[in-house]
Amino acid sequence: MQGLSVVVVGGGAGLGALIAEMAVRNGAAAIGIIDINAAAAEAALAPARAAGLPAAFAACDIRTAEAAHAAFAQVAEELGRVDTLVNSAAIYPRKPILEITDADWDASNAINVKGTYHMMVAGVRQMRQQDPKGHVRGRIVNITSVDAFKAHPQNAHYAATKAAVVSLTKSMAHEVAPDGILVNSVAPAGMATQKAKELGFLGELAKASPLARGGEPEEMAEWVLMAGGPKNTYMTGENIIVSGGYIYA
């Protein structure tokens, strides 16, 4: 991420916070975080502030275009430019497929699909105004999931939203390619997060993987940094599956 200004949506906790931290360790020039939880977003900026980097955050509910675009504009103005946008905000509801309500569908679509779309639009509008670095004006990386490609019990509405983001990624990539903006997504499988450890999921993750373990969050974040980093100058419209062999595509 050497020399790039990076904004992470949903960067207040979990994988998003780790991506922001690893971007700092990998030479990012500035970090922005957009998250509904202002305290979490500010805390996640601690590594950037400790490194003396420009850092900005905006508290935002990304379900509406107005709020999402205003938050992005605020962070972009404070940082000066946005080279890489990572969309990591999502909800992960679980419910048997015959029990999913309209409210469940609306909540999942509003955050996982519409929210990601709103932030992509805001990112593209900003990046189009920027001078390119080499061939590239900007990079967008969306976090999807292997659930978009493989059936998972009690997870149909989440899986459907992640499949929608894969499709959105491809469509956006095609439309903004002439602007020098690269749009890709990364689809993690089960991760050995602290929550997985607390809930006892690690055994299930190990059984599901030919590598006999769940992926470490850092292993997923590395691919996000690759897709959003300066070495990616030609890949766009791709969905990178990082599953340890859980699925092959």
- The upper half-sphere exposure of residue 32, i.e. CA atoms within 13 Å in the direction of its Cβ, equals 28
- In the DSSP assignment, the letter for residue 111 is I
Which amino acid is present at 129?
Q
> Where do the H-state alpha helices sit in 31-128?
38-44, 46-50, 65-79, 102-108, 116-128
CB 31 within 8 A of CB 57: no
Task: From the candidates 158, 234, 246, 248, give the one annotated as an active-site residue.
Answer: 158
- Strand segments, DSSP code E, in 202-244 are 239-242
Would you call 92 a catalytic residue per the annotation?
Answer: no
- Torsion, Cα 96 100 104 106, to 10 degrees, reads 130
Which amino acid is present at 1?
M
- In the DSSP assignment, the letter for residue 216 is P
**Catalytic residue numbers, as ranges:** 158
